[in-house]
Chain A
Amino acid sequence: MTRTTTRPLLELAAITKTYQVKQGLFAKAKPLNALGGVSLCLHKKDVLGLVGESGCGKSTLAKILLGLEAPTAGKVLVDGKEIDPRERRHLARRLQPIFQDPYSSLNPRKSIEDIIALPLVVHDIGDSASRSQAVARMLDLVGLPARVRRGYPNQLSGGQRQRVAIARALIMKPEIVVCDEPTSALDVSVQAQILNLLGDLREELGLTYFFISHNLAVVEHLATRVAVMYLGQIVEEAAAAALFANPRHPYTKALLESVLTPDPCLSVPDTHLGASYPNPISPPSGCRFHPRCAQVRDICKTTPPPRIGNEGGHVDCHLYSGAAAH
C-alpha cells in the first residue's frame, strides 16, 4: 500500500494535553487528561473523520492542531518537520479552520469582503487591489454572488455564512483544512450543499481535511479514514469503508447502532451504553470504556487494552488480543 511509503502531510505524535482543574474554592487542582497520547497521520487528499461524544477531546485536539493550545507532551509534525508553537503564522499558511457556528465565527461589524480578506491582511500578502481580486475569486469558488462582498453577515443565511467561512479559510491556499462540526448548525438541505461544496473543493484544490463531527452519516459520506475517540484516546482507526462495514471496537459498534437512518420500519435502537459518560478527572481503571461496554470481561477492568493493528488501522480492545496471537 502506498500510504505506508509516502511521508504523511500531517502527523500527530503521542499528543497529551493535561489541564489543571479546581473543583471548589479551596480544593487542590487536579489533573484532567483531556488527551492521553493521541497519534494520527494524514496523507495528502485524505479526509480524516474524527468522531466521539461531546467531552471526549475532539475540539481540544483541533485547538492543538491549529496552534491555539500547546500540547503538554507530544509533537505536531507537518511534512515531517516539527511545528514550533512560536511560528503559528507560518503554520496558518498551511492549515486553516472552519468552525461549527457561522453565526458566531464571523465578525458582525465587518463587511464580507473584509472578513474574507483578513487572513491576507494579517499575513501581509498583496496590496488592496490583488486582495480584492482574491476575494472575488473566492466568492466565485464557494458559490456566492459577487454582490454579497459589500454586505454584512446578518444579511446572509446560515448556509451563505458558512460559505463565507470556507472562503476565508481557503484564501490562504492552505493544504489542510480543520473542519470542526462544519454542518451541525445548518438545516439538512443546506448541509447537503455545504457537504457537496467541501467535496468539490477537495477535488479541485487537492485539499486535505481534518473533519470533526458527531454525525456518523456525514462522516461516512465524506471521510476516507475514520478515527473514533473515547475519553481522550483513539480507540479505533481504519479506512472509512472498512470501519463502517466492519466496526471492531464495541464503542464504535454502539456509535454506529445509534445512527438513526430514515427507515420508518425500524424503531429507536437500544445501544446498551448506559447513561453516563465517565468523569475525565477520574477515568475508569483498565480499559476506559469498560463500565459501558456490553462485552466487558474481567481483564478489561484492570489492564489497559493492547493496541491491535491491522492493515492501515488499529483497534484498542482486549477482545481482539486472542485473535492477534495466532
Chain B
Amino acid sequence: MSDPILSVRNLTIDIPMSQNTMHAVRGISFDLKRGETLCIVGESGSGKSLTSLAIMGLLSKKLQRAATRLDFAGIDLMSQKLRQMRDLRGNRMAMIFQEPMTSLNPAYTIGDQLAEAYLLHRKATRVQARMRAIELLGKVGITAAENRLSQYPHQLSGGLRQRVMIAMALMCEPELIIADEPTTALDVTIQAQILRLLADLQREMNMAMILVTHDLGVVARVADKVAVMYAGEVVEQGTAKEIFGHPRHPYTRGLLRCIPVPGRSKPGEHLGSIPGMVPSLVGRVKGCAFRARCDVAEEACTAAIPERRMESGHAWRCIHQAAERLSP
C-alpha cells in the first residue's frame, strides 16, 4: 500500500464572533492516496467548502485553523509560510472553483490567465507556456484552442469557461486537485461531459482528487471514497459502495431518501425528508449535532459520540452501532 498523499487529522476551523466562537469545522480526519477520488458531500453550511479552502491555505486570516496533522506529500502544511504555500498552490496542488464566471478575471485573456501559474512555477518562456496552454485546452476538449487564447471570459459559454478553469488547474500537473462544486452551475448534459473529462484526466495523470458537492448522483458515479459532512463533522465515511449500499448514519440514510430516483421513487409519492434545521454551531456543541432531526435519537445522543469503524475503513459517528436497529 502506498502512503497517502494527503493526510488530515482533527482539522478544526473556528470563526471568532463578537462574543462567541462558531465551530464551523469540528475535527475532520481523512487520508487520500494518489489516483483516488474523495467526494465530500453535505448540505450548505456543513463546512465542506471551508475544509477545501483550509487544505489549500486560502482561509481568511480571521478564521482559526488547527489540526494535529495536515500533511501533503510529506510536507506539513500547518507550518508552511505564505511563500512556501505559494510555491505549492497552482503547482503541486490546485483548485477548481464553483463559478467560472466569478473566478476568471474578466480583464485578462484566457491565454494570459492560463499561462500565469506556469510562468511563475516552471520558469518557462512565454512561448512554452503558450504551447502548454494550447495542449491542455485541447485535452479538455476545446476546439480551435489557438484562437481561444486571445479571447476573454465573457466570450465563452458556461461549459467552456468551466473547461478553461480545469485546464488552468492542470497546467503544472498537480498531484492533488480540489474541485469545489465544479458542475453545479452547468446543464446536465455538460455536467456529464465535465465529470468524464475530470475522471479521464485524473487517471491519466494519476492525481488525487477531492470533489466537493451536494449532488449525490455525482458522488455515486465518480467517488472512490465518500465523506458525508453534517454541521462541521464527518458523520460517515467509506467507499461509495458502502455509503450507497449500506449507509449507517441516520443522516446519510435520510439524504438518500430525499432524492427522487427515476425507476425507484414512485412519481407523485412523498419523498423522504429530514425535518428541522441545521443546529447553530456557535458556542460549545455537545453530543450528536444531528439528534434534533433524527428519528432514532435518545438520551445517550447528548453525550460525546464515539466513532464506529469497520475493518474496511467504513466509519460513522452514531451510538446506534447495530445498523439493523435503525429504520430502513
- Residue positions of A touching B, CB distance < 8 A: 53-54, 157-158, 187-193, 195-196, 199, 214-218, 220-223, 240-241, 244, 254-271, 273, 275-277
A238 shortest CB reach to chain B, Å: 14
B158: CB under 8 A from chain A? yes
B144 shortest CB reach to chain A, Å: 11
Is B191 in contact with A189, judged by CB distance below 8 angstroms? no
Is A188 in contact with B258, judged by CB distance below 8 angstroms? yes
Is B258 in contact with A268, judged by CB distance below 8 angstroms? no
B residues in contact with A267, CB < 8 Å: 199, 221-222
A148 shortest CB reach to chain B, Å: 13
Is B260 in contact with A217, judged by CB distance below 8 angstroms? yes
B19-49 with Cβ < 8 A to chain A: 43-44
Q: Give CA–CA (A222, B195) in the complex, Å.
A: 27
Is B196 in contact with A275, judged by CB distance below 8 angstroms? no
B50 shortest CB reach to chain A, Å: 16
Q: Give CA–CA (A158, B265) in the complex, Å.
A: 24
Is B274 in contact with A189, judged by CB distance below 8 angstroms? yes
B267 shortest CB reach to chain A, Å: 5
The chain A residue sitting closest to B272, CB to CB, is A192
Q: Give CA–CA (A255, B187) in the complex, Å.
A: 10
Is A262 in contact with B256, judged by CB distance below 8 angstroms? yes
Is A262 in contact with B277, judged by CB distance below 8 angstroms? no
Q: Give CA–CA (A199, B267) in the complex, Å.
A: 10
Chain A CB within 10 A, most for which of B243, B262, B263, B264: B262
Q: Give CA–CA (A178, B160) in the complex, Å.
A: 31
Contact of A189 among B192, B243, B273 (CB under 8 A): B273
What number of residue pairs across chains A and B have CB atoms under 8 A from each other? 144
A214 shortest CB reach to chain B, Å: 6
A187-B44, A264-B239, A275-B159 provided; 6 other pairs, C-beta below 8 A? Answer: A189-B43, A255-B189, A256-B262, A258-B189, A260-B195, A275-B190
B residues in contact with A188, CB < 8 Å: 43, 214-216, 255, 258-259
Q: Give CA–CA (A156, B270) in the complex, Å.
A: 24
Q: Give CA–CA (A258, B188) in the complex, Å.
A: 6
Q: Give CA–CA (A264, B141) in the complex, Å.
A: 26
**Given A188-B255, A260-B192 in contact, is the A221-B260 Cβ separation under 8 Å?**
yes
B268: CB under 8 A from chain A? yes
Q: Give CA–CA (A214, B254) in the complex, Å.
A: 24
A residues in contact with B217, CB < 8 Å: 217, 259-262
B249-283 with Cβ < 8 A to chain A: 254-265, 267-268, 270-274, 277
B125 shortest CB reach to chain A, Å: 31
Is B244 in contact with A259, judged by CB distance below 8 angstroms? no
Is A214 in contact with B188, judged by CB distance below 8 angstroms? yes
Is A277 in contact with B157, judged by CB distance below 8 angstroms? yes
A246 shortest CB reach to chain B, Å: 13
What interface size band does chain B fall in? 35 or more
Is A189 in contact with B258, judged by CB distance below 8 angstroms? yes
A residues in contact with B268, CB < 8 Å: 199, 221-222
The chain A residue sitting closest to B218, CB to CB, is A260
Shortest Cβ-Cβ A-B pairs, 7 listed: A260-B217, A221-B260, A264-B240, A192-B258, A262-B220, A187-B43, A192-B271
A residues in contact with B272, CB < 8 Å: 192
Q: Give CA–CA (A187, B268) in the complex, Å.
A: 20
Is B214 in contact with A217, judged by CB distance below 8 angstroms? no
**Given A53-B189, A189-B258, A258-B191 in contact, is the A266-B221 Cβ separation under 8 Å?**
yes
Q: Give CA–CA (A306, B29) in the complex, Å.
A: 59
Is B141 in contact with A275, judged by CB distance below 8 angstroms? yes
Is B187 in contact with A53, judged by CB distance below 8 angstroms? yes
The chain B residue sitting closest to A200, CB to CB, is B270
B55 shortest CB reach to chain A, Å: 23
Is A196 in contact with B192, judged by CB distance below 8 angstroms? no
A85 shortest CB reach to chain B, Å: 31
B241: CB under 8 A from chain A? yes
B residues in contact with A217, CB < 8 Å: 217, 259-262
B residues in contact with A268, CB < 8 Å: 192, 195-196, 199, 221-222
Is B223 in contact with A264, judged by CB distance below 8 angstroms? yes
The chain A residue sitting closest to B196, CB to CB, is A268
Interface string of B199-216 (1 = CB under 8 A from A): 100000000000000111
**Given A195-B271, A199-B268, A264-B244 in contact, is the A220-B196 Cβ separation under 8 Å?**
no
The chain B residue sitting closest to A189, CB to CB, is B274
Is B267 in contact with A220, judged by CB distance below 8 angstroms? yes
B residues in contact with A158, CB < 8 Å: 44
Is B192 in contact with A258, judged by CB distance below 8 angstroms? yes
B residues in contact with A257, CB < 8 Å: 192
Contact of B267 among A241, A262, A263 (CB under 8 A): A241
B227-241 with Cβ < 8 A to chain A: 239-241
B328: CB under 8 A from chain A? no
B193: CB under 8 A from chain A? yes
Contact of A271 among B43, B158, B159, B189 (CB under 8 A): B189
A164 shortest CB reach to chain B, Å: 15
Q: Give CA–CA (A253, B264) in the complex, Å.
A: 19
Q: Give CA–CA (A262, B214) in the complex, Å.
A: 12
Sample of 7 A–B contacts (CB below 8 Å): A192-B258, A192-B259, A220-B267, A221-B271, A260-B192, A263-B220, A275-B141
Contact of B188 among A196, A220, A244, A255 (CB under 8 A): A255
B139 shortest CB reach to chain A, Å: 13
The chain B residue sitting closest to A196, CB to CB, is B270
The chain A residue sitting closest to B143, CB to CB, is A275
B219: CB under 8 A from chain A? yes
A residues in contact with B263, CB < 8 Å: 261
Is B188 in contact with A261, judged by CB distance below 8 angstroms? no
B residues in contact with A220, CB < 8 Å: 260, 262, 267
